[in-house]
């Protein structure tokens, strides 16, 4: 089941989405000051969460076969996954701050969809690059 390409794509997608989350919540919004856990524990848990998210994204991308060629398949899968992840977090009340204003919820929701869509794009692009590298190495 786990081919080398799958593991490479999974690892790269995890790093990219974790980095984007750190940039958004740590630098842009400065949300990390509201965390009650020790920071290293939070980063470890966040890394595990993004490893699971990117695994699901990579798995669905790799094992979903669409009848016709879809150029932005990774972006679409990522956006749908981001939508559902945010809905789950919103329903469970998982947030850095309590009592958020409606427009903050909307911005957070859009960011989550963008982040997962970008991660899906990275998954799709990395699979294409690895396939082309394999084809080039087979030719020579």
pLDDT per residue as tens digits for the range 45-70: 999 999 999 999 999 999 887 766 77
pLDDT band at 140 (very low <50, low <70, confident <90, very high): low
Task: Give the residue from 5, 7, 19 showing the smallest Cα distance to 118.
Answer: 19
pLDDT for position 12 = 97
Q: What is the pLDDT of residue 1?
A: 46
CB 96, CB 25: distance < 8 Å? yes
pLDDT of residue 89: 83
- pTM of this structure: 0.86
> Higher pLDDT residue, 32 or 117?
117
DSSP assignment string, 62-115: HH---SS--TTHHHHHHHHHHHHHHHHHHHHT--SSSS--HHHHHHHHHHHHHH
Q: What is the pLDDT of residue 138?
A: 81
State the Cα–Cα distance between residues 35 and 108, nearest whole angstrom: 17
Report pLDDT for 77: 93
76-114 residue pLDDT tens: 999 999 999 998 888 887 766 655 566 677 888 899 999
- Per-residue pLDDT, 66: 73
Mean pLDDT, the chain, rounded, equals 87
The rounded distance, in Å, linking the Cα atoms of 87 and 108 is 11
Mean pLDDT (whole number) for 68-75: 82
């Amino acid at each position: 089941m786990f081919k080398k390409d799958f593991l490479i794509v999974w690892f790269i997608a995890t790093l990219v989405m974790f980095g984007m989350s750190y940039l958004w919540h740590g630098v842009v919004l400065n949300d990390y000051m509201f965390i009650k856990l020790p920071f290293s524990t939070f980063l470890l848990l966040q890394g595990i969460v993004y490893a699971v998210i990117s695994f699901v994204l990579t798995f669905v991308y790799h094992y979903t076969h669409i009848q016709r060629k879809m150029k932005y398949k990774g972006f679409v899968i990522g956006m749908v996954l981001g939508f559902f992840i945010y809905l789950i977090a919103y329903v469970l009340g998982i947030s850095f701050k309590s009592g958020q204003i409606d427009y903050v919820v909307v911005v957070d929701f859009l960011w989550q969809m963008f982040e997962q869509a970008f991660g899906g794009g990275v998954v799709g692009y990395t699979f294409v690059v690895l396939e082309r590298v394999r084809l080039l190495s087979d030719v020579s």
